[in-house]
A and B are shown apart, each in its own frame.
Chain A
Amino acid sequence: MKTLQANAGVLTNLEVLEFLRARGATSDPMGCLGAVAPSECKVFDYLVNTPACNQTRGAIDEFLKRCEKFKLAKAEKFNIINLRPSNQALIDPIIEYCEKRLTKDEARGIDEVQELVDSVLEVLPPPPAKPDEEMQDLEETPTAKPMEEN
Protein backbone atom coordinates (compact mmCIF):
# COMPACT_ATOMS: atom_id res chain seq x y z
CA MET A 1 0.00 0.00 0.00
CA LYS A 2 1.38 3.39 -0.93
CA THR A 3 0.06 6.75 0.25
CA LEU A 4 0.07 9.05 -2.78
CA GLN A 5 -1.40 12.02 -0.95
CA ALA A 6 -2.06 11.97 2.79
CA ASN A 7 -4.30 15.02 2.54
CA ALA A 8 -6.20 15.16 -0.74
CA GLY A 9 -8.83 17.58 0.54
CA VAL A 10 -10.76 18.41 3.70
CA LEU A 11 -14.45 17.56 4.06
CA THR A 12 -17.00 19.35 6.21
CA ASN A 13 -19.32 17.24 8.34
CA LEU A 14 -22.11 18.12 5.90
CA GLU A 15 -20.26 16.60 2.94
CA VAL A 16 -19.58 13.35 4.81
CA LEU A 17 -23.22 13.26 5.94
CA GLU A 18 -24.49 13.76 2.37
CA PHE A 19 -22.12 11.08 1.10
CA LEU A 20 -23.36 8.55 3.65
CA ARG A 21 -26.97 9.50 2.99
CA ALA A 22 -26.47 9.01 -0.75
CA ARG A 23 -25.10 5.52 0.00
CA GLY A 24 -28.29 4.71 1.89
CA ALA A 25 -27.57 5.37 5.57
CA THR A 26 -30.54 6.26 7.72
CA SER A 27 -31.08 6.80 11.43
CA ASP A 28 -33.08 3.58 11.54
CA PRO A 29 -30.59 0.89 12.66
CA MET A 30 -32.31 -1.93 10.75
CA GLY A 31 -32.87 0.06 7.58
CA CYS A 32 -29.28 0.50 6.54
CA LEU A 33 -28.06 -3.11 6.61
CA GLY A 34 -26.50 -4.23 3.35
CA ALA A 35 -25.99 -0.79 1.86
CA VAL A 36 -23.85 0.71 4.59
CA ALA A 37 -21.48 -0.97 7.03
CA PRO A 38 -22.22 -0.78 10.80
CA SER A 39 -19.17 1.42 11.38
CA GLU A 40 -20.43 3.88 8.75
CA CYS A 41 -23.81 3.81 10.50
CA LYS A 42 -22.12 4.88 13.74
CA VAL A 43 -20.50 7.84 11.98
CA PHE A 44 -23.88 8.72 10.46
CA ASP A 45 -25.55 8.59 13.90
CA TYR A 46 -22.89 10.90 15.32
CA LEU A 47 -23.18 13.41 12.46
CA VAL A 48 -26.97 13.48 12.58
CA ASN A 49 -26.75 14.86 16.11
CA THR A 50 -24.38 17.68 15.12
CA PRO A 51 -25.34 21.03 13.51
CA ALA A 52 -24.38 19.48 10.14
CA CYS A 53 -27.68 17.68 9.78
CA ASN A 54 -29.63 20.91 9.16
CA GLN A 55 -27.02 22.67 7.04
CA THR A 56 -27.19 23.27 3.31
CA ARG A 57 -24.40 24.03 0.84
CA GLY A 58 -25.99 27.41 0.18
CA ALA A 59 -25.78 28.35 3.85
CA ILE A 60 -22.12 27.31 3.98
CA ASP A 61 -21.27 29.35 0.85
CA GLU A 62 -23.06 32.35 2.31
CA PHE A 63 -21.18 31.99 5.60
CA LEU A 64 -17.80 31.70 3.83
CA LYS A 65 -18.56 34.88 1.87
CA ARG A 66 -19.52 36.74 5.02
CA CYS A 67 -16.47 35.79 7.03
CA GLU A 68 -13.95 36.64 4.30
CA LYS A 69 -13.29 40.03 5.88
CA PHE A 70 -12.15 38.44 9.15
CA LYS A 71 -9.26 36.68 7.37
CA LEU A 72 -9.70 33.37 9.17
CA ALA A 73 -7.60 30.34 8.34
CA LYS A 74 -9.33 27.61 6.31
CA ALA A 75 -9.15 25.21 9.24
CA GLU A 76 -10.80 27.77 11.53
CA LYS A 77 -13.66 28.35 9.06
CA PHE A 78 -14.24 24.60 8.78
CA ASN A 79 -14.18 24.24 12.56
CA ILE A 80 -16.80 26.99 12.92
CA ILE A 81 -19.02 25.39 10.26
CA ASN A 82 -18.79 21.99 11.94
CA LEU A 83 -19.31 23.24 15.48
CA ARG A 84 -21.67 26.21 14.98
CA PRO A 85 -20.66 28.13 18.14
CA SER A 86 -23.57 30.23 19.35
CA ASN A 87 -21.75 32.75 21.52
CA GLN A 88 -18.39 34.45 21.99
CA ALA A 89 -17.15 32.05 24.67
CA LEU A 90 -17.59 29.05 22.38
CA ILE A 91 -15.94 30.74 19.39
CA ASP A 92 -12.91 31.90 21.40
CA PRO A 93 -10.97 28.59 21.49
CA ILE A 94 -11.48 28.02 17.73
CA ILE A 95 -9.67 31.18 16.62
CA GLU A 96 -5.98 31.36 17.48
CA TYR A 97 -4.84 34.68 19.02
CA CYS A 98 -8.45 35.86 18.92
CA GLU A 99 -7.84 39.11 20.81
CA LYS A 100 -5.07 40.21 18.44
CA ARG A 101 -6.76 39.32 15.16
CA LEU A 102 -10.35 40.39 15.78
CA THR A 103 -10.63 43.90 17.16
CA LYS A 104 -12.91 44.64 20.05
CA ASP A 105 -13.11 48.37 20.69
CA GLU A 106 -16.09 49.34 22.79
CA ALA A 107 -15.30 53.06 22.57
CA ARG A 108 -15.66 53.00 18.77
CA GLY A 109 -18.44 50.44 18.86
CA ILE A 110 -16.52 47.76 16.93
CA ASP A 111 -16.85 44.18 18.08
CA GLU A 112 -15.68 41.85 15.33
CA VAL A 113 -16.05 38.75 17.48
CA GLN A 114 -19.71 39.53 18.01
CA GLU A 115 -20.09 40.21 14.27
CA LEU A 116 -18.69 36.77 13.57
CA VAL A 117 -21.00 35.18 16.12
CA ASP A 118 -23.97 37.03 14.58
CA SER A 119 -23.01 35.74 11.10
CA VAL A 120 -22.91 32.21 12.47
CA LEU A 121 -26.30 32.57 14.17
CA GLU A 122 -27.96 34.14 11.12
CA VAL A 123 -26.57 32.01 8.33
CA LEU A 124 -25.98 28.55 9.79
CA PRO A 125 -29.10 26.76 10.99
CA PRO A 126 -29.18 25.67 14.64
CA PRO A 127 -28.53 22.05 15.57
CA PRO A 128 -31.50 19.74 16.13
CA ALA A 129 -33.06 20.20 19.58
CA LYS A 130 -32.32 17.25 21.83
CA PRO A 131 -35.51 15.48 22.99
CA ASP A 132 -34.55 15.30 26.68
CA GLU A 133 -33.44 18.92 26.98
CA GLU A 134 -35.73 20.90 29.26
CA MET A 135 -33.63 24.04 28.75
CA GLN A 136 -34.44 26.86 26.37
CA ASP A 137 -35.77 26.03 22.92
CA LEU A 138 -32.87 26.05 20.46
CA GLU A 139 -35.01 27.62 17.73
CA GLU A 140 -34.88 31.02 19.44
CA THR A 141 -34.53 34.29 17.56
CA PRO A 142 -30.96 34.52 16.26
CA THR A 143 -30.39 38.04 17.57
CA ALA A 144 -30.47 36.98 21.26
CA LYS A 145 -27.30 38.33 22.85
CA PRO A 146 -25.26 35.99 25.12
CA MET A 147 -26.17 36.38 28.80
CA GLU A 148 -23.55 37.53 31.29
CA GLU A 149 -22.45 34.73 33.63
CA ASN A 150 -22.94 36.01 37.18
Chain B
Amino acid sequence: MFCLSLIEHNLPLPPHLLNRPLLDAIKEELERLFLDKVLSNLGLCISIYDIRAIEGGFVFPGDGSSTYKVVFRLIMFRPYVGEILCGKLKASDANGLHLSLGFFDDIKVPVHLLPHKSRMGDDGIWIWEHECGDLPMDLDEEVHFRVTKINYPPIPVEQDANASPFSPMEIIGEIYGDGLGLLSWWAD
Protein backbone atom coordinates (compact mmCIF):
# COMPACT_ATOMS: atom_id res chain seq x y z
CA MET B 1 0.00 0.00 0.00
CA PHE B 2 2.78 2.42 0.90
CA CYS B 3 6.12 2.83 -0.81
CA LEU B 4 9.01 5.27 -0.86
CA SER B 5 9.83 7.53 -3.82
CA LEU B 6 13.16 9.30 -4.27
CA ILE B 7 12.60 12.83 -5.56
CA GLU B 8 14.98 15.65 -6.52
CA HIS B 9 13.60 19.18 -6.48
CA ASN B 10 14.93 22.73 -6.86
CA LEU B 11 13.38 24.34 -3.84
CA PRO B 12 13.23 28.12 -3.41
CA LEU B 13 13.31 28.98 0.28
CA PRO B 14 11.28 32.14 0.97
CA PRO B 15 13.09 34.88 2.94
CA HIS B 16 10.84 34.68 6.01
CA LEU B 17 12.27 31.21 6.75
CA LEU B 18 15.93 32.22 6.54
CA ASN B 19 16.33 32.70 10.30
CA ARG B 20 15.37 29.05 10.96
CA PRO B 21 17.75 26.08 11.02
CA LEU B 22 18.19 24.99 7.40
CA LEU B 23 16.88 21.44 7.78
CA ASP B 24 13.68 22.53 9.53
CA ALA B 25 12.99 25.28 7.02
CA ILE B 26 13.51 22.94 4.06
CA LYS B 27 11.32 20.27 5.66
CA GLU B 28 8.54 22.81 6.22
CA GLU B 29 8.69 24.02 2.63
CA LEU B 30 8.66 20.44 1.30
CA GLU B 31 5.65 19.63 3.46
CA ARG B 32 3.85 22.71 2.20
CA LEU B 33 4.53 21.70 -1.38
CA PHE B 34 4.03 17.93 -1.35
CA LEU B 35 2.06 16.78 1.71
CA ASP B 36 -1.43 15.43 0.91
CA LYS B 37 -0.93 16.15 -2.79
CA VAL B 38 -1.19 13.65 -5.63
CA LEU B 39 1.91 13.28 -7.82
CA SER B 40 1.04 11.86 -11.22
CA ASN B 41 1.95 8.16 -11.51
CA LEU B 42 3.52 8.24 -8.04
CA GLY B 43 0.41 8.37 -5.89
CA LEU B 44 -0.71 10.38 -2.88
CA CYS B 45 2.09 11.82 -0.77
CA ILE B 46 1.59 10.84 2.87
CA SER B 47 4.74 12.17 4.52
CA ILE B 48 8.36 13.26 4.08
CA TYR B 49 10.41 10.22 5.06
CA ASP B 50 13.89 11.76 5.11
CA ILE B 51 16.13 14.30 3.34
CA ARG B 52 19.12 12.68 1.63
CA ALA B 53 21.07 15.66 0.26
CA ILE B 54 20.92 19.45 0.17
CA GLU B 55 23.02 21.35 -2.37
CA GLY B 56 23.24 24.86 -3.62
CA GLY B 57 21.85 27.79 -1.70
CA PHE B 58 22.30 30.11 -4.69
CA VAL B 59 20.49 33.44 -4.80
CA PHE B 60 19.36 34.28 -8.29
CA PRO B 61 19.32 37.92 -9.42
CA GLY B 62 16.11 39.78 -8.63
CA ASP B 63 15.05 37.05 -6.19
CA GLY B 64 14.88 37.29 -2.40
CA SER B 65 14.83 33.53 -1.81
CA SER B 66 17.75 31.13 -1.95
CA THR B 67 17.33 28.03 -4.13
CA TYR B 68 18.46 24.63 -2.91
CA LYS B 69 18.60 21.35 -4.82
CA VAL B 70 17.12 18.84 -2.37
CA VAL B 71 17.07 15.05 -2.74
CA PHE B 72 14.53 13.44 -0.43
CA ARG B 73 12.24 10.44 0.00
CA LEU B 74 8.47 10.64 0.28
CA ILE B 75 6.09 8.02 1.68
CA MET B 76 3.56 7.55 -1.13
CA PHE B 77 0.22 5.82 -0.99
CA ARG B 78 0.29 3.80 -4.20
CA PRO B 79 -1.32 0.35 -4.11
CA TYR B 80 -0.21 -2.05 -6.82
CA VAL B 81 -2.69 -3.52 -9.30
CA GLY B 82 -3.93 -6.76 -7.76
CA GLU B 83 -3.49 -5.69 -4.13
CA ILE B 84 -6.29 -6.46 -1.71
CA LEU B 85 -7.29 -3.52 0.45
CA CYS B 86 -9.89 -3.03 3.16
CA GLY B 87 -12.13 0.04 2.97
CA LYS B 88 -15.48 1.29 4.23
CA LEU B 89 -18.58 1.48 2.07
CA LYS B 90 -19.38 5.18 1.90
CA ALA B 91 -22.08 5.42 -0.78
CA SER B 92 -23.81 3.32 -3.36
CA ASP B 93 -25.71 4.38 -6.44
CA ALA B 94 -26.69 3.10 -9.88
CA ASN B 95 -23.06 3.31 -11.08
CA GLY B 96 -21.77 1.05 -8.33
CA LEU B 97 -20.16 1.45 -4.93
CA HIS B 98 -17.98 4.19 -3.46
CA LEU B 99 -15.44 3.07 -0.88
CA SER B 100 -13.23 5.10 1.42
CA LEU B 101 -10.01 4.52 3.34
CA GLY B 102 -10.41 7.49 5.69
CA PHE B 103 -7.49 9.37 4.20
CA PHE B 104 -8.43 8.51 0.61
CA ASP B 105 -11.98 8.61 -0.70
CA ASP B 106 -11.94 8.17 -4.48
CA ILE B 107 -12.36 4.41 -4.74
CA LYS B 108 -15.07 3.21 -7.11
CA VAL B 109 -16.39 -0.29 -7.73
CA PRO B 110 -18.34 -0.09 -11.01
CA VAL B 111 -21.38 -2.26 -11.60
CA HIS B 112 -19.62 -4.83 -13.82
CA LEU B 113 -17.07 -5.58 -11.08
CA LEU B 114 -19.65 -6.40 -8.39
CA PRO B 115 -20.29 -10.07 -7.53
CA HIS B 116 -22.17 -12.09 -10.11
CA LYS B 117 -25.93 -11.66 -9.74
CA SER B 118 -26.11 -8.41 -7.81
CA ARG B 119 -29.10 -6.18 -8.08
CA MET B 120 -29.95 -2.77 -6.72
CA GLY B 121 -32.64 -2.61 -4.07
CA ASP B 122 -35.27 0.12 -3.81
CA ASP B 123 -33.38 2.05 -1.12
CA GLY B 124 -30.24 2.35 -3.29
CA ILE B 125 -28.44 -0.52 -1.54
CA TRP B 126 -26.89 -3.21 -3.74
CA ILE B 127 -27.80 -6.80 -2.88
CA TRP B 128 -25.85 -9.94 -3.79
CA GLU B 129 -28.21 -12.78 -4.67
CA HIS B 130 -26.46 -15.78 -3.18
CA GLU B 131 -27.89 -19.29 -3.04
CA CYS B 132 -28.03 -19.03 0.76
CA GLY B 133 -30.11 -15.86 0.54
CA ASP B 134 -29.84 -12.18 -0.26
CA LEU B 135 -26.81 -10.39 1.18
CA PRO B 136 -27.22 -6.61 1.23
CA MET B 137 -24.17 -4.35 0.92
CA ASP B 138 -25.03 -1.95 3.72
CA LEU B 139 -23.26 1.39 4.20
CA ASP B 140 -20.37 1.74 6.69
CA GLU B 141 -19.41 -1.91 6.32
CA GLU B 142 -15.80 -3.05 5.94
CA VAL B 143 -15.20 -4.25 2.40
CA HIS B 144 -12.22 -6.16 0.97
CA PHE B 145 -11.60 -5.22 -2.65
CA ARG B 146 -8.94 -5.88 -5.27
CA VAL B 147 -7.31 -2.90 -7.03
CA THR B 148 -7.81 -3.26 -10.79
CA LYS B 149 -6.68 0.15 -12.05
CA ILE B 150 -5.41 3.49 -10.81
CA ASN B 151 -6.34 6.52 -12.92
CA TYR B 152 -4.66 9.90 -12.83
CA PRO B 153 -7.10 12.04 -14.86
CA PRO B 154 -5.65 15.31 -16.21
CA ILE B 155 -6.79 18.54 -14.60
CA PRO B 156 -9.90 19.75 -16.46
CA VAL B 157 -9.64 23.17 -18.05
CA GLU B 158 -13.32 23.96 -17.66
CA GLN B 159 -15.80 22.56 -15.21
CA ASP B 160 -19.55 22.98 -14.66
CA ALA B 161 -20.51 24.95 -11.59
CA ASN B 162 -22.22 22.02 -9.93
CA ALA B 163 -19.97 19.18 -11.10
CA SER B 164 -18.44 16.95 -8.43
CA PRO B 165 -14.99 18.10 -7.26
CA PHE B 166 -12.11 16.93 -9.46
CA SER B 167 -10.25 13.92 -8.09
CA PRO B 168 -6.63 13.71 -9.31
CA MET B 169 -6.26 10.03 -8.36
CA GLU B 170 -8.95 7.40 -8.74
CA ILE B 171 -8.79 3.73 -7.79
CA ILE B 172 -11.08 1.28 -9.58
CA GLY B 173 -11.68 -1.79 -7.44
CA GLU B 174 -13.45 -5.11 -7.87
CA ILE B 175 -15.22 -7.36 -5.38
CA TYR B 176 -15.82 -10.22 -7.79
CA GLY B 177 -14.38 -13.42 -6.39
CA ASP B 178 -13.92 -15.54 -3.28
CA GLY B 179 -12.90 -13.66 -0.19
CA LEU B 180 -13.79 -10.25 -1.60
CA GLY B 181 -16.70 -8.05 -0.66
CA LEU B 182 -18.07 -7.40 2.80
CA LEU B 183 -15.88 -8.80 5.55
CA SER B 184 -18.94 -10.16 7.35
CA TRP B 185 -19.58 -12.51 4.41
CA TRP B 186 -16.29 -14.40 4.93
CA ALA B 187 -15.29 -13.92 8.56
CA ASP B 188 -15.43 -16.95 10.87
Contact = CB atoms under 8 A, between A and B. Distances in A.
Interface in B16-61: 31, 35-36, 41-42, 46-47, 49
Interface string B174-185: 000111100000
B2 to A, nearest CB: 4
Contact of A16 (B8, B46, B187): B46
Contacts of A90: 144, 179, 186-187
Contacts of A9: 3-4
A3 B1 contact: no
A23 B47 CA distance: 10
B102 A42 contact: yes
Contact of B84 (A2, A40, A79): A79
B7 A2 contact: yes
A89 to B, nearest CB: 4
Interface in A5-53: 5-13, 15-16, 19-20, 23, 37, 39-40, 42-43, 45-46, 50
Interface of A: 1-13, 15-16, 19-20, 23, 37, 39-40, 42-43, 45-46, 50, 75, 79, 82-83, 85-87, 89-94, 96, 135-136, 144, 146-147, 149-150
Given A7-B5, A92-B178, 10 more contacts: A8-B4, A10-B4, A19-B49, A43-B103, A45-B102, A46-B103, A50-B86, A75-B80, A75-B83, A144-B188
Contacts of A91: 179
A81 to B, nearest CB: 11
A2 B72 CA distance: 11
A16 B31 CA distance: 17
B3 A7 contact: yes
A93 B144 contact: yes
A11 B83 contact: no
A23 B46 CA distance: 13
Contacts, number: 117
A19 B179 contact: no
B94 interface: no
A10 B137 CA distance: 32
B149 interface: no
B187 A86 contact: yes
A130 to B, nearest CB: 9
Contacts of B31: 37
B4 A20 contact: no
B188 A93 contact: no
10 cross-chain pairs, A with B, having the tightest CB-CB distances, nearest first = A39-B36, A46-B102, A5-B6, A42-B103, A8-B4, A4-B6, A8-B6, A11-B2, A93-B179, A89-B186
A20 B77 CA distance: 14
